[in-house]
Amino acid sequence: MPHEAAQIALVIARIAEEIIAKIATLSDEQLNQRLPVPDANTLFAIATHAVGMGEFWVLTLVGDRPSNRNRSAEFVAAGEGKALRARYQQWIADTHALLDTLPESAMEQVVEPPFEFRSAGGLQEGPLTVRDCLLHVVEHTATHLGHIQLTADLLQSGAI
């Protein structure tokens, strides 16, 4: 059985692959379609936010990679599904490269996410461990997978 970080990488990859599969069923027009619901995001924006969040919390906070994340821009992002799917594939590969070899002792290492990301994610005050960050990614990405699945189903059914 894989060690804890590698197991979490498998879960993150499974969720991300479900997002890839769902957005692959939609045209670029559908991905960028505004929904007739106040304050709703496009599917492209939701998926961009999910991968941006994941890249930041895994690769930057845990992997100590530089980031130029602009969280607010994620919610107005628009573009092509092919590029978005490629970004997810790269995130999956980078997540495995980092977490599959992460020492077990690193799971208790303390990290400090910026306040704006911590507060937006509903996380508690005080120190967060690598484990906390990775579990946040699982929870948050799975939540957005649900949003993506429901919105895609509504778009494909013609209900909206």
Q: What is the per-residue pLDDT across 32-51, written as a single tens digit (0 to 9) for each?
A: 998 888 889 999 999 999 99
Structure tokens at 80: 């092509």
pLDDT at 30: 96
Instruction: Please answer whether residues 49 and 41 qualify as being in contact, where contact means their C-beta atoms are separated by less than 8 angstroms.
Output: yes
Instruction: Please answer whether residues 5 and 100 qualify as being in contact, where contact means their C-beta atoms are separated by less than 8 angstroms.
Output: yes
Structure tokens at 53: 């969040």
Count the helix, strand and coil residues of the chain and give each as a percent rounded to the nearest 5.
Answer: 65, 0, 30
In degrees and rounded to multiples of 5, residue 47 shows phi and psi of -65, -35
Helix (H) or strand (E) holding 111: strand 110-111
Structure tokens at 50: 């999910």
Strand 128-129 to 110-111 pairing:
antiparallel
Q: Which residues pair with 110 in a beta bridge?
A: 129
In angstroms, the CA 52 to CA 69 distance is 7
pLDDT at 101: 96
In this structure, what DSSP letter does residue 70 have? -
Q: Please count the residues of the chain.
A: 160
The overall pTM is greater than 0.85: yes
Give the CATH architecture of domain 4-157: Up-down Bundle (1.20)
User: Where exactly are the structural domains of the chain?
Assistant: 4-157
Q: What is the per-residue pLDDT across 8-33, written as a single tens digit (0 to 9) for each?
A: 999 999 999 999 999 999 999 999 99
Q: What is the pLDDT along the chain (160 residues), one digit of tens a residue?
A: 679 999 999 999 999 999 999 999 999 999 999 888 888 999 999 999 999 999 999 999 999 999 999 999 999 999 999 999 999 999 999 999 999 999 999 999 999 888 776 666 566 677 889 999 999 999 999 999 999 999 999 999 987 7
pLDDT at 126: 73
Helix (H) or strand (E) holding 140: helix 130-157
